[in-house]
Amino acid sequence: MAVYTEVGDEALREFLSAYAIGELIAFRGIAEGVENSNYAIKTSTGDFVLTLYEKRVDPAELPWFLGLMEHLAARGIACPLPVAARDGQALRQLAGRPAAICTFLAGVWPRRVRPEHCAPLGAALAGLHLAGADFQATRRNGLGPEAWGPLLDRCRPGGDAVQLGLLAELTAAHDAIRAAWPAAGRLPVGQIHADLFPDNVFFLEDAARRPRVSGLIDFYFACTDLLAYDIAVCLNAWCFEADGAFNVTRAKAMLSGYQTLRPLQPEERAALPLLCRGAALRFLLTRLYDWMATPPGALVTRKDPLEYVRKLRFFSSCEGPGSLGL
């Protein structure tokens, strides 16, 4: 989450007048993330999140995202539920941007990931995949393998200024990954989150500090793609230490939690190291581009692309799925 577009009190009050959610009490910008402008809103009836859609989000695709969240919420997945205005529409305009209000989810995201977080995370991811199986509309992964080459080209003007020799390494990795990527029909496909990082997963804990997932948020990279690729994204996002070391205990917990609901097929297990390389490259490239392109003064947290160089190198060294805890 982030704030690129500023919204004033009067504009927000006028916007909220179209909704039956009470009077505005307070609101504040949310600085985490890099994609859309987000505000936490408190009204006389409760807490909500307002999102103004920017940058990579195609306005024509917003009904798909909102429809997916409505579908998942109706099937028991703890995710934001879009709030319709009095005219029945959830998608509106504010400050020249498409905008929507969603319900607020209780919980906090883990600043320090423990193995105890990873098993419920895996189960939540599998639950999402199963709940999305009967969502008939599809969306192409706009940041899938076909997008990596053009994105790499956009990073060429300044990429080596971030780290000398980086572009040559990324070019070689891209070419190898694309050549080995699973052909269509080889692995199960469905609706995936595609961005389930720790700051997109909320937890609550019981008295014994046992965490449970209380919310999955930020579905604006969701798409129709390989289910196992979603697992690869999570292995990248959840299973490394601050020093770059892979934490196989976390990986085993996550994969075990996932497979309590949806056992992986043998072909998915075999492909997982390659999918992890692809996921590492995808986030490396988008972080690298954002590092160079984030406008001055934006209330946004830039993320280090070099973290994913180390992850890409690790997954490239894996000899098989056993290296990942399978």
Asked whether the predicted pLDDT for residue 321 surpasses 60, the reply is yes
Assign residue 29 the CATH number of its domain. Answer: 3.30.200.20
Residue 209 lies in a domain: yes
pLDDT of residue 121: 98
For residues 50 and 103, the answer to whether their CB atoms sit within 8 Å is no
Q: Name every residue whose Cβ is closer than 8 Å to that of residue 184 and which is 6 or more positions away in sequence.
A: none
Q: Residue 199 gets which letter from DSSP?
A: G
pLDDT of residue 231: 98
Residue 109 lies in a domain: no
Q: Residue 245 gets which letter from DSSP?
A: -
**Residue 139 shares a structural domain with residue 202:** yes
Q: Domain span at residue 264?
A: 115-324
- Domain finish residue from 49, 79, 103: 103
Q: How far apart are alpha carbons 229 and 278 in whole angstroms?
A: 8
Summarize the confidence of residues 39-54 as an average pLDDT: 94
If residue 315 lies in a helix (H) or strand (E), which one and from where to where?
Answer: helix 306-317
Summarize the confidence of residues 95-109 as an average pLDDT: 94
- Domain finish residue from 76, 103, 130: 103
**1 pLDDT tier (thresholds 50, 70, 90):** very low
pLDDT of residue 58: 83
What is the residue-averaged pLDDT of the chain? 92
Asked whether the predicted pLDDT for residue 300 surpasses 90, the reply is no
Q: Note every long-range contact of 266-271, with CB atoms under 8 Å and residues 24 or more positions apart, other chains counting.
A: 267/182, 267/186, 267/187, 268/187, 268/188, 268/227, 268/228, 269/321, 269/326, 270/320, 270/321, 271/182, 271/186, 271/187, 271/228
Residue 125 lies in a domain: yes
Summarize the confidence of residues 228-242 as an average pLDDT: 97
For residues 46 and 23, the answer to whether their CB atoms sit within 8 Å is no
Q: Name every residue whose Cβ is closer than 8 Å to that of residue 6 and which is 6 or more positions away in sequence.
A: 95
Q: How far apart are alpha carbons 22 and 42 in whole angstroms?
A: 9
The two structure tokens encoding residue 149: 């080459």
- Domain finish residue from 57, 73, 103: 103
Summarize the confidence of residues 190-196 as an average pLDDT: 98
Q: What percent of the chain has pLDDT over 90?
A: 81
Residue 66 lies in a domain: yes
For residues 97 and 5, the answer to whether their CB atoms sit within 8 Å is yes
**Residue 152 shares a structural domain with residue 183:** yes
**Residue 69 shares a structural domain with residue 195:** no
Could you write out the DSSP letters of every residue in 144-166? SHHHHHHHHHHHTTTHHHHSTTH
- End-to-end CA, the chain: 33
**Residue 25 shares a structural domain with residue 166:** no
Q: How far apart are alpha carbons 244 and 270 in whole angstroms?
A: 24
**Residue 189 shares a structural domain with residue 266:** yes
Summarize the confidence of residues 26-33 as an average pLDDT: 79
**Residue 179 shares a structural domain with residue 303:** yes
**Residue 126 shares a structural domain with residue 253:** yes
**Residue 43 shares a structural domain with residue 135:** no
**Residue 193 shares a structural domain with residue 283:** yes
**280 pLDDT tier (thresholds 50, 70, 90):** very high
What's the chain's length in residues? 326
Number of structural domains, the chain?
2
Q: What percent of the chain has pLDDT over 70?
A: 95
